[in-house]
A and B are shown apart, each in its own frame.
Chain A
Amino acid sequence: MKIYVPLDSAAKALGADRVADAVIAEAAKRGVDVELVRNGTRGMIWLEPLVEVVTDAGRIGFGPMLPSDVAALFDDLGAHPKALGLVDDLDWMKAQTRLTFQRCGVIDPLDLEDYAAHGGLVGLKQATEMSGADIVAQVTDSGLRGRGGAGFPTGIKWQTVHGAQAEQKYIVCNADEGDSGTFADRMIMEGDPFTLIEGMAIAGLAVGATKGYIYLRSEYPDAINIINRAIEIANVAGILGDDVLGSGRAFHLENRVGAGAYVCGEETSLLNSLEGKRGVVRAKPPLPALEGFLGRPTVVNNVISLATVPVIMEKGAAHYADFGLGRSKGTIPLQIAGNVKFGGLFETAFGLPLGEIVNTLAGGTRTGNPVKAVQVGGPLGAYFAPHQFDVPFGYEEFDGAGGLIGHAGLTVFDDTADMLGMARFAMEFCAVESCGKCTPCRIGAVRGVETIDRIAEGDADAIPLLTDLCDTMKDGSLCALGGFTPYPVMSALTLFPDDFAVGKKAAE
């Protein structure tokens, strides 16, 4: 009997380890030979812990499982009260286009044979036979844009580093994933770490970098552990090291752990942190592509950007570019979070209207109350209200609607949300996390909290002051921490003026 119980930290947070223990115990009790595989998550977090049992028909899912549900897995499977049917046939799975996440939840994350049996290493093998310029061209043609938030074309960034002359170049993976509402990076690092490693090795071959770093946030102890083990395995297998897959070309990879600073997700701050300094933002130019880690040419890419490269190499640039909408090509792993009925990760071509994501995929709120607001793109992203739900999910489309898609996390709030409180939180967060280098961010955020408190106390004059302050932060900040905090603040103020109504709090 072969049983899958996820090791993903969302599954663990919901009790997967206890379910796995129960499987072992029950199997021993019954004298049944069980092969227990700890897989990543399929992304249906509301069903976690989602246990899968392999049958002749395919993998049948059961969830959300409690340890007390385990014994019945050893009886008539069809009669199990938590039976969901074949996992691949579930609506949530069938409706997706899984490219980046094709293996996540399917394979044993640390089993290289399983990885290779599901299309792994095809891309890297091809890359070893190509020139760097050809690899860069393929990534450019795919239309892949940075998934870390800014949406910069990945191929063009690589081209710059490829063209730079230097003794040593670097690939740096931004795994700082600080945005609330996002967990795609974590999910793939825990569920399919070799994809990221393969993508980084391809990037190294493309631009001529022989050394790579993953900068992984300390808030992810499970991902850190899995990535460390995956790097060891990849070194032994010759995927990393002096001779990548026998190509004669080297790529060495090291995992580095952050230390709890949101701003270190900003690429120049990240590079300072990696160098062992305070994570203060650098002025650009020089671009990191030309003067990055230790002043040398450096590709800095998000986890998902890099983890998408193998499938682009495997299936071809055109296959990837055929999906999507306008200049937003390919697929995007939507991360559906907050107060929703069906939370999790859903990879799909760009272009789904926001309302379809919130009302259909997410199924509305878990509390059953009406949706009040959706924050898209993390703590620096704008709030959206239901009347804006027809905007399609794409970089330009969201920009046009006064927001951003960021790392594609969506946080849903029901009608109990206090939007003045959320605006205040955005300023407070900016104040706590500011690197301190520029005044609009460092001082502006503190003033922002004070100004919102004045509004809450009934001071009408503070509203134009808040608007002015946001303009100053937007125009004057060195990076998007201070520069984009006005997005959630101003969208909350404009879309939900009642929550800022003067006298409301005073009258209460």
Chain B
Amino acid sequence: MPNTPADLAERVAAICTAHAHLEGPMLPILHAVQAEYGFIPEPALQIIAKANGVTRAEVHGTMSFYHDFREEPAGKTVIKICRAEACQAQGGNGLAEAAMAKLGVDWHGTTSNGAVTLEPVYCLGLCACGPAVIVDDTVVGAVDGAMLDAILTEAGA
């Protein structure tokens, strides 16, 4: 996809227009921009601000409040491991440690080949079948060491 500054400006402005009829359109706009680019490109902030009649600082303030919105692109696959209590009761900590050791990254880190970003998540609602992981949008429950290996291999880590 050609990604000149003009393309970006046009595309982000179109996203803002498409959401203009909503009450409180900011989160839907940020989600849509991130769905398009994989993160919120810095120049998008000014365009979103202008379209919504707020300052760039306000848009940045909103974006940075939420764990979901990224300022940098993520790896090709995002793997989120649940860190919350119910998964901890089922071995979630060990799973997380194994994942970090295998990938050689800490939380929020991306492998050097750009294949995988590892994120913590606090609850996927899979509390009766933990430890739970979500690979992009695909949920996986009762994850053991072998399943983790398979997930990481498939993601090309």
B residues within 8 A CB of A218?
31, 68
Interface string of A403-421 (1 = CB under 8 A from B): 0000001011110010000
A-B residue pairs in contact (CB < 8 Å), sample of 18:
A12-B139, A13-B129, A180-B84, A180-B123, A181-B85, A219-B124, A221-B137, A259-B69, A262-B122, A293-B24, A336-B128, A337-B86, A339-B90, A343-B127, A379-B84, A411-B86, A417-B89, A422-B85
Q: What is the CB-to-nearest-CB distance from A75 to chain B, in angstroms, rounded to a whole number?
A: 28
- Choose one: B62, B87, B125; the contact of A9 (CB below 8 Å): B125
Residues of B participating in the A interface, judged by any CB pair closer than 8 Å:
22-28, 30-31, 52, 61-62, 65-69, 84-90, 121-130, 132, 134, 137, 139-142
8 A Cβ contacts from A6-46 to B? 9-10, 12-14, 45-46
Interface string of A267-280 (1 = CB under 8 A from B): 00000011111111
B residues within 8 A CB of A181?
84-86, 127
**Contact indicator A335/B127 (Cβ below 8 Å):** yes
- Choose one: B28, B67, B127; the contact of A256 (CB below 8 Å): B28
- Known interface pairs A180-B86, A183-B125, A257-B27; 4 further A-B residue pairs with C-beta atoms within 8 A, sorted by A's residue number: A259-B67, A275-B24, A278-B65, A343-B128
A residues within 8 A CB of B26?
275-277
8 A Cβ contacts from A164-195 to B? 177-183, 185-187
Q: What is the CB-to-nearest-CB distance from B125 to chain A, in angstroms, rounded to a whole number?
A: 4
**Contact indicator A9/B139 (Cβ below 8 Å):** yes
**Contact indicator B128/A46 (Cβ below 8 Å):** yes
A residues within 8 A CB of B86?
180-181, 337-338, 409, 411
Q: What is the CB-to-nearest-CB distance from B52 to chain A, in angstroms, rounded to a whole number?
A: 8
Q: What is the CB-to-nearest-CB distance from B86 to chain A, in angstroms, rounded to a whole number?
A: 4
B137: nearest residue on chain A (CB-CB)? A221
Q: With A and B bound together, what is the CA distance between A279 and B125 in angstroms? A: 21
Q: With A and B bound together, what is the CA distance between A9 and B125 in angstroms? A: 9
**Contact indicator A259/B68 (Cβ below 8 Å):** yes
**Contact indicator A257/B31 (Cβ below 8 Å):** yes
**Contact indicator A178/B122 (Cβ below 8 Å):** yes
B residues within 8 A CB of A179?
123
**Contact indicator A14/B88 (Cβ below 8 Å):** no
A336: nearest residue on chain B (CB-CB)? B128
Q: With A and B bound together, what is the CA distance between A271 and B67 in angstroms? A: 18
- Choose one: B24, B87, B90, B141; the contact of A14 (CB below 8 Å): B141
A381: nearest residue on chain B (CB-CB)? B85
A92 close to B (CB within 8 Å): no
Q: With A and B bound together, what is the CA distance between A48 and B132 in angstroms? A: 15
Q: What is the CB-to-nearest-CB distance from A271 to chain B, in angstroms, rounded to a whole number?
A: 9
8 A Cβ contacts from A33-84 to B? 45-46, 48
Q: What is the CB-to-nearest-CB distance from B88 to chain A, in angstroms, rounded to a whole number?
A: 7
B residues within 8 A CB of A336?
128
A90 close to B (CB within 8 Å): no
Q: What is the CB-to-nearest-CB distance from B113 to chain A, in angstroms, rounded to a whole number?
A: 26
**Contact indicator A411/B139 (Cβ below 8 Å):** no
A residues within 8 A CB of B25?
276
8 A Cβ contacts from A132-180 to B? 177-180
Q: With A and B bound together, what is the CA distance between A435 and B67 in angstroms? A: 12
**Contact indicator A219/B125 (Cβ below 8 Å):** yes
A residues within 8 A CB of B65?
261, 278-280, 435
A344 close to B (CB within 8 Å): yes
Q: With A and B bound together, what is the CA distance between A429 and B125 in angstroms? A: 17
- Choose one: B27, B61, B126, B140; the contact of A183 (CB below 8 Å): B126
**Contact indicator B90/A13 (Cβ below 8 Å):** no
Listed from nearest, the 5 A-B pairs whose CB atoms lie closest are: A276-B26, A343-B128, A13-B141, A180-B84, A337-B127
A220: nearest residue on chain B (CB-CB)? B125
Q: With A and B bound together, what is the CA distance between A335 and B127 in angstroms? A: 9
- Which of B27, B28, B124, B134 is packed against the most chain A CB atoms within 10 Å? B27
